[in-house]
Amino acid sequence: MRILICEDSVLLREGLVRLLEHSGHQVTAALPDTSDLFEVLQAAGDGQFPELCILDVRLPPTYTDEGIRAALELRRRYPNTPLLVLSQYVEERYASELIATQTGALGYLLKDRVADVSDFVESLEQIGSGGTVLDQEVVAQLLTRRNHDDRMQRLTDRERSVLAALAEGKSNQAIAKLLFLSEASVEKYITSIFQKLGLEADGSGNRRVLAALAHIQTLGTTTTDRNTP
């Protein structure tokens, strides 16, 4: 898989290059910031265009939101390009915007929680194959953000756990093993979750997760706007 990296830390950037190449992937570009990102993408030919882009959230020059803004622009220009965002923190607003696009494969992982190299590579390959992998902390913050909404209050603790695991890209079988449930029970929980949130199940696990989280994000848009200075 051809991969582009945009990460300001030299150690992390070079570490990712070595890890990915050791895992059999090709790093087409390793950039320290977003200044040349879109020029590199535009110049890439059909045989060299990255099949996955990895972006850090906070990049030079201000180390605030350059990376995540570039991710949103990348999503706008190249909606079908798989994208992985790496962050120290959950940038709730931008995470919600990315999820709400509901186009292309997506990952949002917290750096400090990437503890296992094989799991990280597996997540990358899952995203590159069209999957969705979201850190549980991202899911948890979005779920609790509008906890007062009646529809969210209908979810039981178990249903929230199932949705969080589903958002991480886990299969029904993996969720069953994680939560000590039968696969039939997991399917019933998933059906119940989307019924309570008023969502249509379209048969795609990734789309259902993205739709649910986008829905949760929109529940509190008015409140967020009202609290914004």
Could you report the per-residue pLDDT of 55-94, keeping only the tens digit for each?
A: 999 899 988 889 989 999 999 999 999 999 998 888 777 7
Whether pTM > 0.95 for this model: the answer is: no
Instruction: Please say if the pLDDT value at position 199 is more than 90.
Output: no
Q: Which residue has the higher pLDDT, 224 or 37?
A: 37
Give yes or no for a contact between 213 and 219, defined as CB atoms under 8 angstroms apart: no
Instruction: Please say if the pLDDT value at position 103 is more than 80.
Output: no
Alpha-carbon distances of 18 from 59, 82, 126, 175, rounded to whole Å:
21, 20, 19, 32
Give yes or no for a contact between 84 and 124, defined as CB atoms under 8 angstroms apart: yes
CATH superfamily of 2-134: Response regulator (3.40.50.2300)
pLDDT value for 207: 64
List every span in the chain annotated with CATH 3.40.50.2300.
Answer: 2-134, 138-227
pLDDT value for 53: 97
CA-CA distance, 1 to 156, in Å (whole number)?
Answer: 40
Q: Which residue has the higher pLDDT, 115 or 8?
A: 8
Neighbours of 88 (CB within 10 A): 11
Grade residue 111 by pLDDT with cuts at 50, 70 and 90: confident
Alpha-carbon distances of 121 from 12, 47, 113, 139, rounded to whole Å:
15, 22, 14, 21
Q: For helices 205-219 and 157-167, what crossing angle results, to 10°?
A: 120
Instruction: Please say if the pLDDT value at position 160 is more than 70.
Output: yes
Mean pLDDT is lowest, of 5-19, 33-47, 90-104, 115-129, for 90-104
Mean predicted lDDT score pLDDT of the chain = 83
Fold of 138-227: Rossmann fold (3.40.50)
Instruction: Please say if the pLDDT value at position 168 is more than 60.
Output: yes
Token pair belonging to 108: 């949002």
